[in-house]
Amino acid sequence: MSLTLPDLPYAKDALEPYLSAKTLEFHHDKHHKAYVDNGNKLIAGTDLDKEDAEAIIKKVVGDASKAGIFNNAAQVWNHSFYWLCLKPKGGGRPTGEVAQKIDADFGSYQKFAEELKNAGVTQFGSGWAWLVLKDGKLAVTKTGNADTPIAHGIKPLLTVDVWEHAYYLDYQNRRPDYIQAVIDNLINWDFVNSRLK
Ligand code: MN
């Protein structure tokens, strides 16, 4: 099968106290896995069955008859990417190339952090907040439900999952507090810098 569930790149309790082991257990082992399993059922026996998530997303985007395949493949890709965007003792001001680009393209780290938080807070319903590279410049954007920048030819550098399942066990309805905790304590800037290379 072509959609696969990667292992988490850290222990389930590694992101505590900001994200609990319980949240990672449900989020990775139940939600992420369900997108993998459901997507694989939908592509079984079709010409998509040997493709990876990114190829499937690009092949079915915009095809209403394949919306179920798109949604599951995009959620598989988005979650695999999201896990890599987090790490224990992360967050705060970046270093390296992305730090310089944030100053150049947003004016300051503070301005960037406010924009990313605002994108996540104002995403109505489920979705994702993103830092992307578009036309050589950094930009903050948001997508609804399963939608993903890679379906639209835009390169993601960082994402924050703002579906309720990402934070409800730890933060209940306090989505802004969850996003702030990720920004201040969990962003894997080494990974973001590697995406810029
Ligand atoms: Mn999620």
CA of 120 to the centre of ligand 1 (A): 13
Amino acid at 172: Q
Taking only the tens place, the pLDDT of each residue in 28-47 is: 999 999 999 999 999 999 99
Tally DSSP H helices, then E strands, for the chain: 9, 3
Amino acid at 152: H
CA of 104 to the centre of ligand 1 (A): 31
CA of 98 to the centre of ligand 1 (A): 25
CA of 163 to the centre of ligand 1 (A): 6
CA of 51 to the centre of ligand 1 (A): 22
Taking only the tens place, the pLDDT of each residue in 121-154 is: 999 999 999 999 999 999 999 999 999 999 999 9
Residues of the chain with CATH 1.10.287.990: 21-84
CA of 128 to the centre of ligand 1 (A): 9
Q: Is the dihedral of CA 133, 134, 140, 141 positive or negative?
A: negative
Mean pLDDT of 88-108: 97
Taking only the tens place, the pLDDT of each residue in 9-23 is: 999 999 999 999 999
Q: What is the pLDDT confidence band of residue 1, given thresholds at 50, 70 and 90?
A: low
d(CA 175, CA 163): 9
The CATH architecture of the domain made up of 21-84 is Orthogonal Bundle (1.10)
Tokens found for residue 179: 């996003």
CA of 22 to the centre of ligand 1 (A): 14
Query: What superfamily does domain 97-196 belong to in CATH?
Result: Iron/manganese superoxide dismutase, C-terminal domain (3.55.40.20)
Residues of the chain with CATH 3.55.40.20: 97-196
